[in-house]
């Protein structure tokens, strides 16, 4: 299960550092970098950053304390998040750069899922 926890540590750190702290501290810079539209209501982006930061901390805690029953839950949630972001793009509600975030979620979920199937006794 070590590689499963590694995947959760890495994904948690990503959530904390990029969308988490990025949106809390400098939302306009991050949104412009990823060509995501915004208005002068940056408090909304900061709140999303706060929530993302908290989810990242939870991912790291799940890994640190080896809460195995939640490993698959993190996989399902990340696939759902990726699909939701792709859906927003398909419905023309966000720019194409949102797919980069969707890709990170998809790849992170796939990494964790792969390590879970790899760790089963055979």
Q: Which two tokens stand for residue 64?
A: 């640190």
CA atoms within 13 A on the CB side of 117: 6
pLDDT of residue 11: 97
Model's pTM, two decimal places?
0.91
Q: Inform me whether the pLDDT recorded for 74 exceeds 70.
A: yes
Residue 122's pLDDT is 39
What is residue 1's predicted lDDT score, i.e. its pLDDT? Answer: 60
Task: Judge contact between 14 and 118, C-beta under 8 A.
Answer: no
Domain carrying residue 86: 2-118
**Could you read off the pLDDT of 31-66 as tens digits, one per residue?**
999 998 888 899 999 999 999 999 999 999 999 999
- Is-contact 92 26, C-beta < 8 A? no
Q: Which of 82, 118, 81 is nearest to 7 (CA)?
A: 118
Cα–Cα distance for residue pair 85/94, rounded to 1 Å: 8
Number of domains in the chain: 1
Residue 72 is encoded by which pair of tokens? 């698959």
Q: What is the dihedral of CA 57, 59, 63, 67, to 10 degrees?
A: 110
């Amino acid at each position: 299960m070590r590689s499963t926890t590694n995947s959760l540590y890495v994904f948690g750190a990503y959530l904390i550092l990029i969308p988490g702290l990025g949106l809390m501290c400098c939302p306009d810079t991050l949104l412009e970098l990823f060509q995501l539209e915004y208005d002068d209501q940056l408090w909304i982006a900061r709140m999303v950053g706060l929530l993302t930061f908290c989810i990242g901390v939870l991912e790291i805690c799940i890994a640190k304390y080896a809460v195995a029953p939640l490993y698959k839950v993190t996989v399902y949630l990340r696939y759902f998040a990726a699909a939701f972001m792709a859906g927003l793009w398909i419905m023309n509600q966000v720019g194409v750069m949102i797919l980069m975030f969707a890709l990170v979620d998809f790849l992170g979920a796939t990494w964790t899922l792969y390590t879970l199937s790899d760790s089963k006794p055979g």
